[in-house]
């Protein structure tokens, strides 16, 4: 049988001492978190956002639109003259073969010349900028009869590389002047079309655009 430890004396001593006194003072208030960064509120209004030509609604072209179009027209005219000269003087040049294979050099040259003539004088063209009716989705531009529509992505495009602002003008002007088609899009599509069907490549607007854009 286990021996019980006597605890009664200890209990009696605690009872004799009386109840413990409760604290009478309130604890000090908590200090604010010293790590919180206090940022003063701005007192000035933010500057108004700057509208670019891509943001300005149409369909009427503003001076901001016109400035970009005029720069692109000047570059397109210069590049087309170089392309026409290459086809005339070096019809077997590898660059021509790359984009058109064995398609008729006469057809290629005539399409380039008609496109150049169309862009040489645009006074009779109805140029529309950011026309909501003609610019769904991410369309760059469109052309029909004597209407040339330029959409917001066109005004965001660069002036170098493929799908440049001036190259897009060549694409659309070839539709109006030479009745080109859209059999294939983008550089890879145009190159594949040239391999598979050279005569169709000579009808395709993107083949002419990329042929001229990649000439240098």
What does each of the 216 residues of the chain score in pLDDT, given as a tens digit?
Answer: 444 445 444 444 445 455 555 556 665 655 555 454 454 566 666 555 677 999 999 999 999 999 999 999 999 999 999 999 999 999 999 999 999 999 999 999 999 999 999 999 999 999 999 999 999 888 999 999 999 999 999 999 999 999 999 999 999 999 999 999 999 999 999 999 999 999 999 999 999 999 999 998
Q: How many CA atoms does the CB half-sphere of 184 hold within 13 Å?
A: 23
10/17 Cα distance (integer angstroms): 11
State how far Cα 106 lies from the chain centre. Answer: 36
168/160 Cα distance (integer angstroms): 11
The whole model's pTM is what?
0.77
Alpha helix locations (H) across the chain? Answer: 8-17, 63-89, 94-100, 105-120, 152-156, 165-178, 186-196, 198-201, 205-213
176/170 Cα distance (integer angstroms): 10
Compute and round to an integer the Cα radius of gyration of the chain: 38
């Amino acid at each position: 049988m286990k021996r019980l430890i006597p605890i009664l004396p200890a209990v009696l001593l605690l009872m004799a001492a009386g109840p413990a006194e409760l604290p009478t003072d309130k604890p000090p208030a908590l200090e604010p978190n010293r790590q919180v960064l206090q940022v003063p509120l701005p007192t000035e209004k933010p500057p108004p956002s700057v509208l670019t030509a891509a943001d300005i609604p149409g369909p009427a072209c503003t001076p901001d639109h016109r400035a970009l179009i005029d720069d692109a027209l000047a570059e397109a005219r210069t590049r087309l003259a170089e392309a026409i000269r290459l086809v005339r003087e070096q019809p077997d040049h590898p660059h021509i073969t790359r984009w058109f294979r064995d398609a008729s050099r006469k057809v290629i040259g005539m399409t380039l010349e008609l496109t150049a003539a169309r862009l040489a004088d645009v006074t009779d063209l109805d140029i529309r900028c950011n026309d909501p009716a003609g610019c769904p989705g991410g369309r760059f531009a469109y052309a029909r009869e004597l209407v040339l529509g330029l959409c917001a992505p066109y005004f965001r495009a660069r002036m170098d590389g493929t799908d440049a602002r001036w190259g897009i003008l060549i694409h659309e002007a070839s539709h109006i002047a030479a009745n080109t088609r859209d059999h294939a899009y983008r550089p890879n599509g145009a190159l594949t079309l040239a391999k598979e069907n050279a005569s169709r490549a000579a009808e395709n607007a993107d083949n002419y655009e990329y042929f001229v854009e990649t000439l240098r």
